[in-house]
Amino acid sequence: MDLMSFYKDKRVFITGHTGFKGSWMCKVLEMAGAKITGYSLKAPTDPSLFEIAEIEKGMEKSVIADIRDLDTLKKAMLETKPEIVIHMAAQPIVRESYKDPVFTYETNVMGTVNILEAVRSCSSVKSVVNVTTDKVYRNNEWEWGYREIDALDGFDPYSNSKSCSELVTSSYKKSFFNDIDIAISTCRAGNVIGGGDFAKDRIIPDCVRAMENKTEIIVRNPYSTRPYQHVLEPVCTYLMLAQKQYEDKSFAGEYNVGPDDQDCVNTGTLVNLFCKYWGKEAKWKNVCEENAPHEANFLKLDCSKIKSKLNWHPRWHIDDAIEMVVEWSKVYLHGKDINSVMLNQIKYFINK
């Protein structure tokens, strides 16, 4: 992987840098010697990985502002003159999107419009990756993985807003960017897990909180299948894609990023693995939730395109991913050095 050498001294603009995935991306880029500018609201959780891992110390600039504020976004981009833009700012929780659909659409749809408008005004940008989700597809509960050519029609407001973000990106590419030297892609990643995720209504954070509070893990639907993957899989893939299309615009496109079939597991299996690696004190129970909002039961991605075109493949199996989650979480709960464990996991992942 020549990822680290490519990003040395590259100017990279990341939206959503205070979030879980954004914090891991900043840590990877810091190791590579990139010049990082972040643009985001304050960290969405308390505690947050961004703060406890002191991510800002490794950045050139951290702008705390709203992706819906086009003028401030343009100003930040023009001042820092990035070469590469990774757009991850979003309202990312399905259940929150039912509670506040207007904010979800404003952030996820108009946020995409605004980032592409800012890119239009900034001639230094050569490569853009818009991060969406595996949930952009019309879910038919198929047993096979969705492909990039399948219909975009997310059911809930979060998923649907990300489908819209894909369409916005496609329109902007055809309308404004086809005839200029800039490459733009979208990435549809599976369910991301890893150390430092403190979000509500996500299974791994729920597991870690249960261990912290010495309680049983509550699982809402142990039979739902998802393409779970460690956070370093999509983060390094976004960076690889940004690099490839920076060097050759023909690599730009729409890509699924997810685990191989054998690593697409249901939530019950995921929690069993967590308990295995955590130890005998970890136990879980299924609690059926009445009037729960709609969520797909079966979701897999077909990643043939990115494997063929970019020679990409997942690096860690689901067992590896859970083992890394448990390692990070135990270091955190025992008050030890989480920066060291993050750096070691990144090195292990990149060198694998």
List the chain pLDDT tens, one digit each, 352 residues: 588 999 999 999 999 999 999 999 999 999 999 999 999 999 999 999 999 999 999 999 999 999 999 999 999 999 999 999 999 999 998 989 999 999 999 999 999 999 999 999 999 999 999 999 999 999 998 888 999 999 999 999 999 999 999 999 999 999 999 889 999 999 999 899 999 999 988 999 999 999 999 999 999 889 999 999 999 999 999 999 999 999 999 999 999 999 999 999 999 999 999 999 999 999 999 987 665 676 667 889 999 999 999 999 999 999 999 999 999 999 999 999 999 999 999 999 998 7
User: What's the predicted TM-score (pTM) here?
Assistant: 0.95
The structural domains of the chain, with segments of one domain joined by +, span 3-351
**Whole-angstrom distance, CA of residue 65 vs CA of residue 43:** 11
Can you give the C-alpha Rg of the chain in angstroms? 19
Task: For residue 342, give the H/E element and its range.
Answer: helix 338-351
What confidence score (pLDDT) does residue 288 get?
Answer: 77
Q: What angle do CA 35, 36, 41 make, to 5 degrees?
A: 165
What confidence score (pLDDT) does residue 291 get?
Answer: 59
**Whole-angstrom distance, CA of residue 113 vs CA of residue 168:** 7
Structure tokens at 253: 């496109």
**Fold designation for 3-351:** Rossmann fold (3.40.50)
**Whole-angstrom distance, CA of residue 46 vs CA of residue 167:** 33
**Whole-angstrom distance, CA of residue 300 vs CA of residue 145:** 4
What confidence score (pLDDT) does residue 290 get?
Answer: 61
What confidence score (pLDDT) does residue 294 get?
Answer: 65
What confidence score (pLDDT) does residue 284 get?
Answer: 96
What confidence score (pLDDT) does residue 292 get?
Answer: 64
Can you give the length of the chain in residues?
Answer: 352
**Whole-angstrom distance, CA of residue 215 vs CA of residue 202:** 17
What confidence score (pLDDT) does residue 179 get?
Answer: 86
On the question of a cis peptide bond just before residue 47, with omega within 30 degrees of 0, the verdict is yes
Structure tokens at 240: 């690889």
